[in-house]
Amino acid sequence: MKKFIIDADTGSDDAVAILLALQHPDIDVLGITVVSGNVPLKQGVMNTLATVEQAEQEIKVYLGADKPLTREYIEIHSLTEFTDHVKALSSISASAQSVHGVDGMGDIGVIPKSYKHEEKNAVDYIVDTVNQNPGEITLVTLGPLTNIALALQKDPSIAKKINHCYVMGGTSDGSGNVSAAAEFNIWVDPEAAKIVFDSELQITMVGWDNSYKYAMLKEPEISQIRELNSKLGNFSVDIQKVLIDLTKEWYDFYGFDLPDPITMAIALENSIIEESQDCHVIVDTRDGITRGQTIVDYFNVEGKNQNVRVVTKSSNKKFMSLLLDLLR
């Protein structure tokens, strides 16, 4: 059994990713740490607990950072307000509730039966668990990298003790989903991302480009999930309600993309990767239009160490097969 720690800012796509790990027969999810991002920390914890309840499992959930390392963090519920906030080049970070719903789970009334989480802090949990299991932990990050950066600051030695770290964040082709250049998770806390990417962690970056290219579910794929007639399958689609409505408004089709689930799927089954390249990746921490950009040095112009395996192409067929298999 592979030992996983999942770090999430649990919204609607994180929830599906968590379910994939919990349902995989070869994975032992030791714990889930929560960070603010898609939604504020408390809401993220509630969403995580509700997701674990859906899987009918008992997984320990730990509270982490409620704001980025150095930046303020605010809630924004309106897409227009969020867009204006980003265009104003504010240094302040903001939630993605305008995309995932005020509760982050499609605003369909998802509430955990119990708000029972661990007393231990997420950062302490990560450091202690890695040190107790050197070389055995796979870390999958689905949100801003604040908790991971804090753990590395507390004990830099864990970088070499983590077997591998799969990061949902950034882009490999320069396309952004917050600004023209930046993906949300890195944009929220670029300072944390820089610490993580500059560490000695073995990192695979699954950027947002993999999601919109290879994990975009449209009506045929959504129908396949619905036809499973399973609790987890229906839950996974239902919680995308706000995103589905926005996709219809923006792009005039019925569907949604799944950035966190394709990252988790790659962590579960590396064969989903079709093309990747080891590169030096630079995180832009400067305020401005490129804040949070992941600059991928494909031709080693900088002459620096190749610190990240960058996934540039994934198999939609293998991803969908795994998704359908684990949501049955």
pLDDT digit string, tens, across residues 195-224: 999 999 999 999 999 999 999 999 999 999
Angle at alpha carbon of residue 167, lines to 207 and 274, rounded to 5°: 55
- Contact indicator for 242, 284 with CB cutoff of 8 Å: no
For the residues 223-229, what does the mean pLDDT come to?
Answer: 98
pLDDT at 325: 98
Chain-centroid distance of CA 120 in Å reads 22
- Contact indicator for 43, 77 with CB cutoff of 8 Å: no
Residue 270: pLDDT band with limits 50, 70, 90: very high
User: How far apart are the C-alpha atoms of 54 and 13, rounded to whole Å?
Assistant: 15
> What does residue 280 show for φ and ψ, rounded to 5 degrees?
-85, 125
- Contact indicator for 290, 186 with CB cutoff of 8 Å: no
pLDDT at 15: 98
pLDDT at 152: 98
Domain boundaries, the chain: 2-326
User: How far apart are the C-alpha atoms of 154 and 326, rounded to whole Å?
Assistant: 36
| Torsion of the alpha carbons at 46, 17, 209 and 229, rounded to the nearest 10 | -110
Residue 299: pLDDT band with limits 50, 70, 90: very high
User: How far apart are the C-alpha atoms of 150 and 134, rounded to whole Å?
Assistant: 19
The fold of 2-326 is Inosine-uridine Nucleoside N-ribohydrolase; Chain A (3.90.245)
* Burial letters 318-327, b for 16+ CB under 10 A, else e: bbbebbbebb
User: How far apart are the C-alpha atoms of 75 and 102, rounded to whole Å?
Assistant: 9
pLDDT at 77: 97
Beta strands 273-283; 308-314: pairing state: antiparallel
pLDDT at 288: 94
User: 55-93 pLDDT, tens per residue?
Assistant: 999 999 999 999 999 999 999 999 999 999 999 999 999
Residue 259: pLDDT band with limits 50, 70, 90: very high
- Over the chain, what is the mean pLDDT? 97
The end-to-end CA distance of the chain, in Å, is 21
Q: How many CA atoms lie within 13 A of 52 on its CB side?
A: 26
**Helix (H) / strand (E) containing 153:** helix 146-154
Residue 281: pLDDT band with limits 50, 70, 90: very high
Specify the amino acid at residue 35. V
- Contact indicator for 227, 194 with CB cutoff of 8 Å: no
Specify the 3-state DSSP secondary structure of 244: helix
Chain-centroid distance of CA 139 in Å reads 11
For the residues 131-139, what does the mean pLDDT come to?
Answer: 98
User: 145-181 pLDDT, tens per residue?
Assistant: 999 999 999 999 999 999 999 999 999 999 999 999 9
For the residues 241-268, what does the mean pLDDT come to?
Answer: 96
User: How far apart are the C-alpha atoms of 286 and 274, rounded to whole Å?
Assistant: 33
Residue 318: pLDDT band with limits 50, 70, 90: very high
User: 31-61 pLDDT, tens per residue?
Assistant: 999 999 999 999 999 999 999 999 999 999 9
Residue 110: pLDDT band with limits 50, 70, 90: very high
pLDDT at 9: 98
